[in-house]
C-alpha cells in the first residue's frame, strides 16, 4: 500500500521563514517556480500543491520580489448546495477561499498573532474571483488559481491572460476530483495544449507524494481502482 513519503530536506528563506519539503516532488516544484512564469501543479489531494503555491508567493513578498498575491478559486460547491450566502463580498467568498487562508496561517501565523510577516502578507493578498477579473492586469504579482479542475476553459483562459510584468502564475488541481460532472476536464485540456510552450512548466504529483495522514493515500488508491 502507498504511504506518505518521508521528509527529504528543508529550505530556509527570509530569515526564520522556512518550508519543509517532504518528498522529491515538492522539491522539484520549488525549483520549477524559479524556472517558469506559468506552472501547473497537478495531482491528488494532500500532496501540498496549494501549500507550496502559497509558500512561494509569500517568499516573493517577504523578499520584495513581488508586491501582490492574487488568489482565486472557482466558486463551485462539492455536491452540496449552501444556497444564498449573506453579507458583503468578502463574506460571500470567504468559505471558498478558506483553504488558502489555512495555508497562509500555517506559514506565517494567524492574523491576531501580532506578526509582522503576517501583516505584510495580508496587505499583499487580493482575493480576485474570476467573475470580476475581465479587463484586469496583475503586475508584480504571484497569481494562484487553486482547485482549477473545477474551472471551465473560458475561466482558465481568462486567468492565464491576466498576468503582466514581473508576475508568476501557479495553477493547482486534481483532474480526477472535478465537481463539475460531465466529460472532459478543461484543466487537462489547457495543460496539454500548453506543454512545451517556453515559460510553461508542469509538475505531476503522485499518490506516494501525499503528506496528510498515511490513510489518505490508501483511500485514494482504493477509490480509483
Counting DSSP H helices and E strands in the chain, the numbers are 7, 8
Q: What is the CATH number of domain 9-223?
A: 3.40.50.300
Q: Is the pLDDT of residue 133 over 80?
A: yes
Q: What is the Cα–Cα distance from 69 to 71, expressed in whole angstroms?
A: 6
Does the pTM of the predicted model rise above 0.85? no
Of residues 109 and 89, more confidently modeled:
109
Domain boundaries, the chain: 9-223
Residue 182's pLDDT band (cuts 50, 70, 90):
low
- Average pLDDT of the chain is 81
pLDDT of residue 41: 96
Taking a C-beta distance cutoff of 8 angstroms, is the pair 145, 172 a contact? Answer: yes
Reported as type and span, the H/E element at residue 115 is none
State pLDDT tens for residues 137-162: 999 999 999 999 989 999 999 999 99
Q: Is the pLDDT of residue 12 over 50?
A: no
pLDDT of residue 215: 65
Amino acid at each position: 500500500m502507498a504511504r506518505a513519503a518521508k521528509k527529504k530536506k528543508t529550505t530556509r528563506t527570509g530569515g526564520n521563514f522556512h518550508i519543509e519539503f517532504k518528498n522529491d516532488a515538492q522539491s522539484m516544484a520549488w525549483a520549477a517556480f524559479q524556472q517558469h512564469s506559468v506552472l501547473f501543479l497537478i495531482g491528488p489531494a494532500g500532496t501540498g500543491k496549494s501549500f507550496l503555491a502559497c509558500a512561494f508567493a509569500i517568499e516573493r513578498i517577504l523578499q520584495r520580489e513581488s508586491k501582490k498575491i492574487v488568489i482565486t478559486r472557482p466558486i463551485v460547491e462539492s455536491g452540496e448546495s449552501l444556497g444564498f450566502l449573506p453579507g458583503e463580498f468578502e463574506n460571500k467568498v470567504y468559505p471558498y477561499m478558506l483553504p488558502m487562508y489555512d495555508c497562509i496561517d500555517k506559514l506565517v501565523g494567524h492574523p491576531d498573532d501580532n506578526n509582522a510577516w503576517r501583516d505584510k502578507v495580508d496587505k499583499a493578498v487580493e482575493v480576485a474571483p474570476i467573475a470580476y477579473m475581465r479587463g484586469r492586469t496583475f503586475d508584480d504579482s504571484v497569481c494562484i488559481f487553486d482547485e482549477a479542475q473545477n474551472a471551465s476553459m473560458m475561466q482558465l483562459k481568462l486567468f492565464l491572460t491576466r498576468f503582466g510584468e514581473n508576475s508568476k502564475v501557479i495553477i493547482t488541481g486534481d483532474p480526477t476530483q472535478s465537481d463539475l460532472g460531465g466529460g472532459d476536464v478543461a484543466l487537462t485540456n489547457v495543460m496539454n495544449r500548453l506543454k512545451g510552450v517556453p515559460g510553461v512548466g508542469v509538475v505531476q504529483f503522485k499518490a506516494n507524494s501525499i503528506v496528510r495522514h498515511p490513510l489518505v493515500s490508501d483511500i485514494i488508491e482504493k477509490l480509483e481502482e
